Structure 1
Amino acid sequence: MIEISGLVKRHGVQTVLREVSFTAKAGQVTGFLGPNGAGKSSTLRILLGLDAADSGTALVGGKPYRSLRNPLRTVGSLLEGSGAHRSRTARGHLSWVAASNGIPRRRIAEVLDVVGLGDAARTRVGAFSLGMHQRLGLATALLGEPDVLVLDEPVNGLDPHGIRWLREFLRSYAEQGRTVLLSSHLMSELASTADRLVVINRGAIVHSGTVTEVTAGHASLEDAFFALTGEGR
């Protein structure tokens, strides 16, 4: 389980996160949404040990990310594309990631097949489309067979078939008792994929609950989002 408690983050005089608290439970897809600049990326970066909070905690299974041994075996993440160097092949990129976390090499072919890149294993990343980059990033996240997935805008660049595939995959992943935290601007996808939603605006959580609870009294999740955040006015 992911447990975020009382996160505060400041950049100079600007407060980016204001006592942010929520949980993402095992067996569920938790959708994390908010306008640009609301604090989603800052929260995820603190959770994944890429930044430090001024106060509060962000734990995975009761531990900070930085204390995890071979973290890719516990948490798989996708932030800002695949992170692979253009000169590497897909297989080459996954090979060094696997070696860095003691992951068996057999997983490389397995995850490439899972994300639909089996035929592109020897293709250099520089020749990849945006959608292929996203699939490689997801393959990297899945490499260690983690119980927790943290994904930021994973459908970027995917075609309709790829979006449907990812939706079904994440639902299946959660149904195996694993935890999925999914940040996205595509509210129709979150409404279809997530069990619970956490809405952040101006660095603070403004609502959380099931999709039904968050959308109560509104025609759609989009309408609820605009009402909660004041966007679109």
Structure 2
Amino acid sequence: MISIDGLTKRHGGRTVLSNVTFRAEPGRVTAFLGPNAAGKSSTLRILLGLDRPTAGTALVGGRPYRSFREPLRTVGSMLGGSGAHRSHTARGHLRWVARSNGIPDRRVSEVLERVGLADTGRTRIGRFSLGMQQRLGLATALLGEPAVLVLDEPANGLDPEGVRWMRGLVRDHAAAGGTVLLSSHLMSEVAEVADDLVVIAAGRVVAGGPLTRITAGYATLEDAFFALTGTGGVR
């Protein structure tokens, strides 16, 4: 389980996060929604040990991410694409990541097959399309067979077939008892894949709970989102 409790982050005199608290439970897909600059990325960065909070905790299974000796065996994450150097091949990148976490080389071929990149494992990443880079990012997240997935905009750059495939991947992970926390701006996709929602605006959680409860009384998830965050786009 992912547990975020009282998370607060200040940069100088600016408060980025204010007492952010929520859970992402095993066996469920939790969508983390909010406008740009709402605090989603800051929360995920703190959860993954890339930044430190001013106050509060962000734990996976009751432990901070930094305490895991081989973190990819517990948490698979994708923030901002594949994170791979353009000159490397997909297979070479995955082998390096696997070895850094004590993961056997056989997993490289398995995850390349799983994400549909088996035929491009020796292609340099600089030649990959955005969608292929997203698939490589997902392959990296899956390398250690983790119980927890943390995915930021996992459908970005995927074509309709790829979006459908990604939806099946996260649903299958949750169905097997895994925990999925994903951030996305694609409301229609979130409505298809999520069990629970956490909505953040201006650094504060404004709603949290089952998708069906949060959207009750609204025609669409998009309508609920705009009402909860006080946004509505340009008319």
Q: Normalised by the shorter chain, which TM-score bucket? A: over 0.9
Paired residue for 2:136? 136
Deviation for aligned residue 1:16: 0.3
Paired residue for 1:190? 190
Paired residue for 1:6? 6
Alignment of 1:150-229 (within 5 A): 150-229=150-229
Q: TM-score, normalised by structure 1?
A: 0.99
Q: Distance in 1 between matches of 2:74 and 2:212?
A: 30
Paired residue for 1:29? 29
Unaligned runs of 5+ in 2: none
Helix, strand or coil at the partner of 1:172:
helix
Deviation for aligned residue 1:54: 0.3
Moved over 4 A (4+): none
Amino acid in structure 2 at the alignment position of 1:128: F
Deviation for aligned residue 1:232: 1.3
Amino acid in structure 1 at the alignment position of 2:171: R
Deviation for aligned residue 1:198: 0.4
Paired residue for 1:67? 67
Identity of aligned residues (%): 71
Deviation for aligned residue 1:25: 0.4
Give the count of matched residue pairs. 233
- How far does the alpha carbon of each residue in 1:15-59 deviate from its partner, in whole angstroms, 9 at most, with x for none? 000000000000000000000000000000000000000000000
Paired residue for 2:48? 48
Helix, strand or coil at the partner of 2:50:
coil
Q: Distance in 1 between matches of 2:217 and 2:28?
A: 24
Q: Distance in 2 between matches of 1:94 and 1:19?
A: 37
Deviation for aligned residue 1:211: 1.0
Deviation for aligned residue 1:216: 1.1
Helix, strand or coil at the partner of 2:132:
helix
Q: TM-score, normalised by structure 2?
A: 0.98
- 1:148 maps onto 2:135 in alignment: no
Helix, strand or coil at the partner of 1:49:
coil
Deviation for aligned residue 1:168: 1.1
Deviation for aligned residue 1:217: 1.0
Q: Distance in 2 between matches of 1:21 and 1:211?
A: 17
Cα RMSD between the aligned structures? 0.6
Alignment of 1:71-110 (within 5 A): 71-110=71-110
Q: Distance in 2 between matches of 1:200 and 1:88?
A: 37
Helix, strand or coil at the partner of 2:168:
helix
Deviation for aligned residue 1:169: 1.2
Unaligned runs of 5+ in 1: none
Deviation for aligned residue 1:69: 1.4
Amino acid in structure 2 at the alignment position of 1:159: D
Deviation for aligned residue 1:226: 0.4
Deviation for aligned residue 1:87: 0.5
Amino acid in structure 1 at the alignment position of 2:231: E
